[in-house]
Amino acid sequence: MRTLVVYYSLEGNTQYVADKICGRIGADSLRLIPVKHYSDKGVRKFLWGGMSAVMKEKPELQDHDVDLSAYECVMIGFPVWAGTFAPPVRTFVEENREALSGKDIVVFTCQAGNGAEKAIAKFEKLIEPQRIKMSAIFVDPKSKPSIEKDKEIDAFADKLEKSMI
């Protein structure tokens, strides 16, 4: 089953997981990059990013050239912002709703604190009527690395790979 990993990463945690998964299962990847970048430092990071997420904003994304029809599975990764998913993911889903229809959808999220379960539930409402086939939550995999965290990512990739057979 051909898989595309679509992700948004502000501080590198989500990219870290996406890269590890792509390396393990041989998936292609697409990094979502907003035209207007979010601050990654200080109070502005939390205020602007959190407000943007809560207000369900849809930031303009840099052009990307991907043919979703070439994939049976689309994995979407995002950081948790204010108990929901990062806004660039909303833009991608809404711009590609028809192309995502009928695909297996897999989700992973990265968080520093909590709220990932809520974020996945909110994402599931956005992606309806499709259902999420599988999901995983990772806590600071790059910011606070450990062998255990890498094993969690590997186990998720293994589970995904087995479900593709």
Residue 165 has pLDDT above 60, yes or no: no
Among all chains, which residue has been given the structure tokens 């968080």?
111
The residue type found at 55 is M
Neighbours of 59 (CB within 10 A): 18
The residue type found at 85 is F
**Residue 82 sits in which domain range?**
3-163
Residue pLDDT, tens place only, 63-119? 998 999 999 999 999 999 999 999 999 999 999 999 999 999 999 999 998 899 999
pLDDT at residue 164, as a whole number = 75
Q: What is the value of pTM for the model shown?
A: 0.93
Name the token pair of 7: 């992700």
Q: For residue 146, give the CATH number of its domain.
A: 3.40.50.360
Residue pLDDT, tens place only, 122-150? 999 999 888 899 999 999 999 999 999 99
CA atoms within 13 A on the CB side of 57: 18
Domain count for the chain? 1
pLDDT at residue 47, as a whole number = 60
**CA 3 to mean position of chain CA atoms:** 14
How many angstroms separate the first and last alpha carbons of the chain?
A: 8
Neighbours of 147 (CB within 10 A): 7
Pairing between β-strand 73-81 and β-strand 84-85 as defined by DSSP bridges: antiparallel
Overall average pLDDT of the 13-39 stretch: 95
pLDDT at residue 62, as a whole number = 96
